[in-house]
Amino acid sequence: MERFDKFIAGFICGLIGPFLGLFIYWKLNFSIMTFEGFWDNVSTSSSLAALISLCLIANLIFFYFFLNREMIKATRGVIGATFVYGAIMIYLKFF
């Protein structure tokens, strides 16, 4: 497990996590729509920033996984990716 205790491993997991959260959210709530139709509906409305913040909950899984195994560098990577998504949300919300 020591070889996975790298910032980049946590950062990649932190970038992938919200996409997994988005897929799960789509499957649970909007599975009657195609994913393309769902994405078109979300991207044309003003709820994209709210959807990103909801999907960031998936990063908690990676965060606690790395934290419980005392993989501090990977945990920092997940936090870094979360901050990147946070900057994107602020941009979408205010600009």
Domain count along the chain: 1
**Residue 34: count of CB within 10 angstroms of its CB:** 11
pLDDT at residue 7, rounded to an integer: 96
pTM equals 0.88
pLDDT at residue 49, rounded to an integer: 87
Give residue 34's domain range: 2-94
Residue 1's nearest CA partner among 68, 84, 90 is 68
Instruction: Dump pLDDT digits (tens) for 25-77.
Output: 999 999 899 999 999 999 887 888 889 999 999 999 999 999 999 999 999 99
pLDDT at residue 39, rounded to an integer: 92
With 70 as the cut, is the pLDDT of residue 95 above it?
Answer: yes
pLDDT at residue 2, rounded to an integer: 79
